[in-house]
Amino acid sequence: MNGKRLILLAIVVLLAVAPMAQARIKLVALPERAATVIRLDNPNATLIEEERVLTLQKGLNKVDFSWKGVQIDEDSIRLDVLDHPEGVNLLSVSYPPGEAALVWEISSGGDFAETVRISYLLRNIDRLITYKAIADKAETQVGLRSYLVLRNFSGEDFEKARVLLDYGEAFEQGIDHEETKRMLFLKAPKVPIRKIWTFDAAQLPWDPEKLENRNVGIPVSYRIVNDAASGLGRFAMWGGKARIFQDDGRESTIFLGEDNAPLVPVGEKMELYIGDSRDIVVTQRKMKDARINLRKNDASRIVLYDTDELITAKIENFKDSPAMLTMIQHIEGQWDMKECNLEYKRKNAGTLEFEIELPARTEDGPAVTELTMHYHRRNVRTR
């Protein structure tokens, strides 16, 4: 505890002899804080548990608990009696006006030096998780390290506390107010990755020629599975900033990019977006969009029709290595495919997903793959 800042948690035991009006007269005894636990398993709140020894006298005792310079959620404060749970009862809790304090009214069956556990939610102390991954030159696996970052801005110094996460062993750590500590807590040396290029026709421009001197970057991601085969899978991986590097084969690395990793439960996969590829170029064009199968009302107005649509996409791989492109296409409404030269999976009513193997470029130039989608949209109504 640092006495210079007024952040102490004071516990004052009051004897129950005085009438209620005088209950705010504080008496001596400031019991020392014993074992302290900082629980960080909930990402939204940090629970502090601390043990103290209260000197209780037989009868009614009033215990005053006050704090200053720290933010405690008042409704979260609990008191648990450890030594004589049968003989010691918490009768009531009262909050004095205009004070960061509360008074416990405790009945004791005897004169006890009673160990109690006080727990409460403390604001402005938390943890972050960050990841650092170093991919091998061939981009087939990464060495993954995860760091725990403890941030304490609670107003309270913790000289020594047991820190608990939602998995793994608790560890002892001290952390002062305004201090940040970064610790390595997970090392997985060989995590297999899959590199994915994604072209989503709803997100990216169709015709790069129409952009004045701008490249269209095809987003590139690494896919990691949180399972035993990856050397992971023991617990859910918390979300946090992931920085990805690559071994350059010369005892050095380059920085590939960074992304926010989501929380990944065991068995699930995460995709980390590292940057954009400008070596794969997609030129998509609509070559036909005509109304067919017209239905008219008595006034010869078209009320219902189908469409005959043709979309082509030229995919050029300028890379000297093959790549697997995930291409997402969207067709709104009711539709049926008349002809499509590449296989696709229907992800939902209006989304088609193609997994397109792109060969490496040759001496003659880029490897070109063409997609042709000829489809009809059905029962389109006019307004």
Partner 1 sequence: MKRIIACMMILVVAGAASAKVDLTTVPTRDTVQLTIYNSADLTLVRESRALTLKEGANALQFSWANTLIDPTSLEMLPKAHAAEIDIAELVYPPRVKNLGLWNVASEVSGKVPVEITYLTSGLTWRAFYMGTLSQDEKTMRLQGYVRVTNNSGEDYENAQTRLIVGKVHILEQIAQLAQREYPYGRPGQVGPRPPMVAAPAPRLKRAAMRELQAMTESAPMVAKEVIKEGLSEYFLYTIEGTETIPTGFSKRLQSFEVEGIPVVNLYKYEEERYGDRVVRFLSFANDEEHELGETPIPDGTLKVYRTADEQNHLAYEGQSSFKYIPVGEEVELSLGAMADVVVEPTLMEAKTDNYRFDKDRNISGWDDIETWKVEVRNTRAVPVKIEILRNFDSSYWDLARNGQIDAFEKVDLDTVKFTIELAPRSKRTFEYTLTTYRGVRTEDWTRRSR
The CB-of-268 to partner 1 minimum distance in angstroms stands at 22
363 binds partner 1 per the rule CB under 8 A: yes
169 binds partner 1 per the rule CB under 8 A: no
Q: Which residues ranging from 145 to 164 are in contact with partner 1 (CB under 8 A)? A: 149, 151, 153, 159-160
Beta carbon nearer to partner 1, 234 or 314: 314
Site map for partner 1, 207-226, x if CB under 8 A? x----xxxx-x--x------
Among 361, 371, 373, 375, the residue binding partner 1 under the rule CB under 8 A is 361
Beta carbon nearer to partner 1, 95 or 255: 255
Q: What angle do CA 41, 42, 46 make, to 5 degrees?
A: 90
Judge residue 151's burial from the number of C-beta atoms within 10 Å of its C-beta, 0-12 exposed, 13-18 middle, 19 or more buried. middle
Are the CB atoms for 337 and 375 separated by under 8 Å?
Answer: yes
- Structure-token pair, residue 344: 């696709």
366 binds partner 1 per the rule CB under 8 A: yes
User: What is the size of the binding site for partner 1 (CB under 8 A)?
Assistant: 74
The phi, psi pair for 233, rounded to 5°, reads: 85, 5
Which residues neighbour 243 within 8 Å (Cβ) at sequence distance 6 or greater? 130, 131, 132, 133, 255, 257, 258
184 binds partner 1 per the rule CB under 8 A: yes
Among 246, 327, 354, 356, the residue binding partner 1 under the rule CB under 8 A is 246
Specify the stretch interacting with partner 1 by CB under 8 A; choose among 51-59, 250-258, 342-350, 371-379. Answer: 250-258
Beta carbon nearer to partner 1, 28 or 299: 299
Among 180, 203, 334, 379, the residue binding partner 1 under the rule CB under 8 A is 180
The CB-of-188 to partner 1 minimum distance in angstroms stands at 17
Q: Which residues ranging from 119 to 148 are in contact with partner 1 (CB under 8 A)? A: 123-126, 128, 130, 132, 135, 137, 139
Beta carbon nearer to partner 1, 108 or 219: 219
Q: Which residues ranging from 299 to 338 are in contact with partner 1 (CB under 8 A)? A: 299-300, 308, 316, 318-320
Q: Which residues ranging from 23 to 82 are in contact with partner 1 (CB under 8 A)? A: none
The C-alpha atoms of residue 302 and residue 381 are separated, in whole angstroms, by: 9
The CB-of-197 to partner 1 minimum distance in angstroms stands at 9
The phi, psi pair for 281, rounded to 5°, reads: -120, 125
179 binds partner 1 per the rule CB under 8 A: yes
Length of the chain in terms of residues written = 383
Could you tell me whether strands 240-247 and 125-135 are parallel, antiparallel, or unpaired per DSSP bridges? parallel
The CB-of-247 to partner 1 minimum distance in angstroms stands at 9
DSSP result, 31-59: PPEEEEEEE--STT-EEEEEEEEEEE-SE
Among 30, 35, 287, 303, the residue binding partner 1 under the rule CB under 8 A is 287
Specify the stretch interacting with partner 1 by CB under 8 A; choose among 28-36, 76-84, 109-117, 257-265. Answer: 257-265
DSSP result, 137-189: TTSSEEEEEEEEEEEE-SS--EEEEEEE-SSS--EEEEE-TTEEEEEEEEEEE
The C-alpha atoms of residue 6 and residue 13 are separated, in whole angstroms, by: 20
Judge residue 288's burial from the number of C-beta atoms within 10 Å of its C-beta, 0-12 exposed, 13-18 middle, 19 or more buried. exposed
- Structure-token pair, residue 72: 């405690």
Beta carbon nearer to partner 1, 253 or 326: 253
Q: Give helix then strand counts, H and E, for the chain.
A: 0, 25
Are the CB atoms for 305 and 295 separated by under 8 Å?
Answer: yes
The CB-of-177 to partner 1 minimum distance in angstroms stands at 6
Beta carbon nearer to partner 1, 26 or 243: 243
The CB-of-229 to partner 1 minimum distance in angstroms stands at 23
Beta carbon nearer to partner 1, 103 or 367: 367
Q: Which residues ranging from 266 to 285 are in contact with partner 1 (CB under 8 A)? A: 273-279, 281, 285
The phi, psi pair for 73, rounded to 5°, reads: -75, 105
